[in-house]
Structures are given as structure tokens and as C-alpha cells.
Amino acid sequence: MRSATSDMAVPLYHRPPKRHRKILHWLLVATGFLVLATVVKLSLGTAEARLVYEIEFQPNETNIKPESTSTVLLPNIETVPVDEAVEEDELQESPELLDSNGHEIHYAIRDGDSLSTIFDQLDIGQTAMYQIISADESLLALDILRPGHQLTFRLNPDTNQLDEMELFIHAGNRVKYHRIADDAFEYEEILLEGEWEPLLFAGEIHGSFYGSAKAAGLTDAEIVTISNTFKEQLNFNRDLRAGDNFQVIRSEQWVDGDPTGQSRIEGFRIQRRNHTHTAFLYEDGRFYNIDGESMERAFRRLPLERQHRISSGFQPRRLHPVTGRVAPHNGTDFAVPPGTPVLSTGDGVVTRVENHPYAGLYVEISHGSQYATRYLHLSRILVRRGQTVGRGERIGLSGATGRVTGPHLHFELHVNGRPVNAMTANIPLASSIPQEKLAEFNALTTNLVAMMEDEALLQVAAQR
């Protein structure tokens, strides 16, 4: 029996049940964690807001001490104070380090970057950007920036104005944009051939050719090249059987010991029962079978259904009709009314569908590993990126988009990455290797076939 004194000392309503006390305890613990997380987040935000990157500049002796520096916020750019010891090799390995004189900025392209946002982040200004885009109109190298590309900005030490921008695409391909006037730049394309090292890819067909080729290590583009080359000799859905073999030789480009990521198919072979299909790339950029007969359909000379007047031809040193400056004209202009159907000049795959401030609406088509065509200033585009198109297929309608003086079609042909005169270029029209070059071609195919049948190389390919 409890005493009245003990009941009065500890009233029941001051001591909740044990179950309720446990709930209250965990609520207090959870509240504490929330408060702690909020404090940490606020602390990190404050620290991030204080994060700045120092860029050395030439001081004004009248009002700034020699050891002074200015600080600006440069997202995605790492910089190093001038007095901090940095090894030369370390500077070269990191593409985002600011050089020691403070007037050169290296920027590594990331997913989601655009030229406009990069210029804004670095506080270089949209005016300089549009001047560079104008210079790039005939090259269009800046239209597609990808992770792995790098931009280098070189500033004038006296005015802090952009003097030069360099686009690093890969070790064998760079483009420099030099300032030639207060309101204009010009470009210089630097292409290095390097060395091409061959690799053998081989496998057996199980299921589809596409799946078997992917399993062997081929890319989608390479599979499309093989399919397009053999499409008139071979039905890939009906003619191939399980156990049929294929061999592909791919060459990969290296410059100064570094891979560029560029590759090309040198030759390929499909062996099925009693039939063997071969194709080999020759120096003219065309595929021929082992007998030297062309595997490719001929190109159209014109991207239009009929001949139209050429208003401006291929001129590497043409005077631009709008800017009045000397600038390369890398294509052929046809005077056609808006809405004129534009045709693909050959079989290929659409690689670009873009809207450029100066080139307007345009389409680029890849025709195998050596050839590409461009169609600029369109009013309407009828294809999509990645689509396979045939020779003579409608890809758009002509117009007057971009920087033009009037409606026309600007047509370009590129061979091995360089623009050529589409009206006079030696495009694939021949039916076989010329007799005087047949011995050279036979020596080439003998070496490639030997690689395809080398047991050691086949074993390496099987394990790749």
C-alpha cells in the first residue's frame, strides 16, 4: 500500500508512460540531427561563397603595390597563384590550370557547356564570341563542343582583350582564331596526319550481324559503313547464317604518341558458306573488292534536281559579300528560290542538324569515312540526326536563313576533313582501280588479307 506522501511527491501526470518516453526521446534525437544538418549546410554555403580564384595582372604602379592581385569568380577554372611552385609537367597534364603570366586560360569542355555560357563564365564578353563565330562560319568547328575538347583563351596583357582563342579537338586537330582587327577574327586550322596503327576485329555471326559486330568491338558508324558497302551484294537479314565469319581492320590515329580518337576502316571481309565478300579502302577514299571493282554507288554532282545558276563558286580567298572581308568560301552557292528541294548527293548518315546564327539552318551528311557534305541556309529541314539517307533523297528546302544577302543554297563537299570544290572534285564515279595502279592496290589487299588470316591476331581479336 502506497503512502500519501509518495503519491504527492511524484504525481502520475508528471511521469508519462515508458512507451511515450521512448517516442519523445527519438523525436528529440531526430530534431537534433536536423538542426545539425542545417548548420553544416549553411557553413558549406558560406565557404563556397567565399571561394574565389586569383588571377595575376600587371599592377598600376601609381596606386597598387606590386604584390597585389585581383580576384574574380571563375567557375570550372582552376588557377594557381604566381608564387606557388608548380611543376611544368603538372601544368601540362591539367587542362584547367591558369598559366604563370595570368593571361592564358585553359577550359575543359564538360557536358551541358555552350560557347555562350563559357564566355559569360570567363567574363570575356558576347561581342568577342560573335566575332569568333563569324570567323568560324566557313568551318563550323565550334558548332559541336564535346567533353574532351579544350578551349584556350589568350588575353592581351595591356588591354585584357581577347587576342586569340584555340580549340583543341584532338591531338591531330586544332583551330586557332586570331584577332585581326578590333571587330574581327580569322581562323587557322592545324591538322596533323600522325601515324595510323591497324587493329584486327573478328567474330562469328550469332543472331544479327549488328549484335555480333558490336560484341566484336565495332562502333555503330563502322557497322553502318559495312552494311551500306555490301547492301547491293548482301541481304543482312536473309543471307547470313549462324557460324558465318567476319574480319574488320580498323586503323587508329596517333600523334606524338597520343591517340586522337580518330579511326577509319581499312578493309573488311564476310565469309559465308561458299561466298566471300570483301571491301578495301584505297587512297582515293573509296571501297573496292579484291578484284579492284568499286563497291560504292556514284555521287551526284549537284544537290538539286536540275542545274541552277552558280552565284558564287568555291573560292578560298573570297571577299565576303556582307562583311567585306577576305574569308574562305568553302562551298558552291546556287541561286535558287526559297522552297527548292535540296537532295543528298550520296548515300550516308545525317551527322548534324543545326541552326547557326550565320550558316542558318543546315544539314551535314557523312558518306563513309572519307566524304562529308553540308547544305546551308535552308528554310526547312526534312531529316533528323542519325538518319540514313540515300543518294537523291530530299533532305530539306532551300531558303535564306543565317547571314545572307538573298535566298540561295550553299553546298560543301569535304574529303578527308578538308573542303574541296564540289564541282570539279574527283568524287567516286570510277568503276574500278585504274590499270596503272592495280599492282599497288593488289599489294595493299595482300597485306590486309594476311592480317585477316593471321592466327595470332585472330586470337587477340577473339579476346578483345
Q: How does pLDDT run across 78-102, given as a tens digit for each residue?
A: 333 333 333 444 334 443 444 445 6
pLDDT tens digits along 197-234 = 999 999 999 999 999 999 999 999 999 999 988 987 88
Model confidence band, residue 36 (pLDDT cutoffs 50, 70, 90): low
Residues 6+ apart with CB under 8 A from 362: 140, 352, 354, 355, 356, 374, 375, 376, 377, 378, 402
Determine the pLDDT at residue 295. Answer: 84
4 pLDDT more than 60 = no
Determine the pLDDT at residue 255. Answer: 96
Determine the pLDDT at residue 294. Answer: 86
Q: Is 107 helix (H, G, I), strand (E, B) or coil?
A: strand
Q: What is the mean pLDDT of the segment spanning 11-32?
A: 60
Q: What is the mean pLDDT of the segment spanning 334-357?
A: 95
Determine the pLDDT at residue 21. Answer: 64
User: How many Cα atoms within 13 Å fall on the side-chain side of residue 187?
Assistant: 22
pLDDT greater at residue 138 or residue 56: 138
Q: What is the mean pLDDT of the segment spanning 358-380?
A: 94
25 pLDDT more than 80 = no
Model confidence band, residue 18 (pLDDT cutoffs 50, 70, 90): low
pLDDT above 90 covers a percentage of the chain that reads: 62
324 pLDDT more than 80 = no
User: Which CATH number is associated with domain 310-420?
Assistant: 2.70.70.10
Alpha-carbon distance of 343 to 111, in angstroms, equals 33
310-420 shares the fold of 195-296+433-463: no
Determine the pLDDT at residue 35. Answer: 64
Domain locations in the chain? Answer: 55-191, 195-296+433-463, 310-420
Alpha-carbon distance of 157 to 153, in angstroms, equals 12
Model confidence band, residue 49 (pLDDT cutoffs 50, 70, 90): very low
What DSSP line would sit under 201-257, residue for residue?
A: EEEE--S-HHHHHHHHT--HHHHHHHHHHHTTT--TTTT--TT-EEEEEEEEEEETT
CB 138 within 8 A of CB 330: yes
Model confidence band, residue 29 (pLDDT cutoffs 50, 70, 90): low
Strand order in the sheet with 245-255: 195-204, 245-255, 258-272, 275-281, 287-288
297 pLDDT more than 70 = no
Determine the pLDDT at residue 65. Answer: 35
Determine the pLDDT at residue 368. Answer: 80
pLDDT tens digits along 411-445 = 999 998 899 999 999 886 546 898 999 999 999 99
What class, spelled out in words, does domain 195-296+433-463 have in CATH?
alpha beta
Determine the pLDDT at residue 201. Answer: 97
Radius of gyration of the chain (CA): 32
Determine the pLDDT at residue 162. Answer: 96
pLDDT tens digits along 309-319 = 999 999 877 66
Residues 6+ apart with CB under 8 A from 457: 200, 451
Burial 285-323 (b: 16+ CB within 10 A, else e): bbbbbbebebbbeebbebbbeeebeebeebeeebeeeee
Model confidence band, residue 284 (pLDDT cutoffs 50, 70, 90): confident
Alpha-carbon distance of 233 to 430, in angstroms, equals 18
What is the average pLDDT value for the chain, to the nearest integer?
82
Q: Which fold has domain 55-191?
A: Nuclear Transport Factor 2; Chain: A, (3.10.450)
pLDDT greater at residue 323 or residue 13: 323
